[in-house]
Chain A
């Protein structure tokens, strides 16, 4: 195994621990406080966040296709698959920002909200914001990789390593979506 790939795996493990600690803390607060807000009605909030999840999952599928194309040495297809992945990432960010704006308009602030436990906003914006930052960095990272791979400056291993990062971002969302959104549905 190459040093780049091993380095990325070690980074992923350390970052996974950061998100694990945050999600653990979130769930502790969620269950410890009977006044915990449930600001997500099934329609439209949960359906909206489900769409975000499917968009992110779809971008993982295009990324894995890009990695496969890179392993075959097909530069043109690799670049197109990575561009499709970036489009998915950008779509996710835009949907997420729209949701944030909606919550802010409803009065959610880091230490204040109209429904209950004041710390909800801090941990919600903290976790989803950290994840969104990872997605944004991933989009930039993929842009650099696609440009470099298209010009022959990067190898298939570089594409594979960027793919590891992207799938990790997707993997984290697989925990954030159920634990943060589905556990706070407003009935």
Chain B
């Protein structure tokens, strides 16, 4: 009897040890990637790097200002397109979970989430770039907005579903019309969750390359015209890392470092916001 208990205890300890070990293992890839990119990229980054366009082949120096500005513009435009639509669709799904429309649009959201980003790029190329006759920042933004949508919709839906129905009833019983219940009670109460979904979706699209290849296309010069080709960080990394020049490789490492930091900070910031603004029900 005692021996059997001993064996069972040993198994428990081994099992616990195993899951702790595996939980530790999964942090290793991230740490290695982080350390490597920091090592390669951090020395490239200085004021000159952030405020200048890439130097032509043969000249040293140069920076990534065109990609920084481009990424900022493209991501902002994508957010402007995707966030309102995503939040409203998420509200519909959480408010009317049993309708046919909710079933099918929920299905579409899931499928959209699984569509490879390069396919989104091609579709936008045929729908927007070809009719307009030119690569443009706006087409890139549309492609990224499509990538953003499912994340915003699902996170809004999940957040709002967790709010108790009694909250809505409380507002309705005071004679508050439905649209104001949503705007003044439901959205404020779920704000932290909705916001964190938005930030995660921004972090996700900031690094997307494939949808931009044949939409925003890239641009070696600083451009703020949204109907013209525009550079972005992932495009710059893609183009310069595959070039044969060492100077350009360094530029790509520096840009990788900046992009990684942006995504990392956005994630940390999201965690902080969720903790601080989370409403105690």
Chains A and B belong together in one complex: no
Residues of B within 8 A of A (CB): none
Residues of A within 8 A of B (CB): none
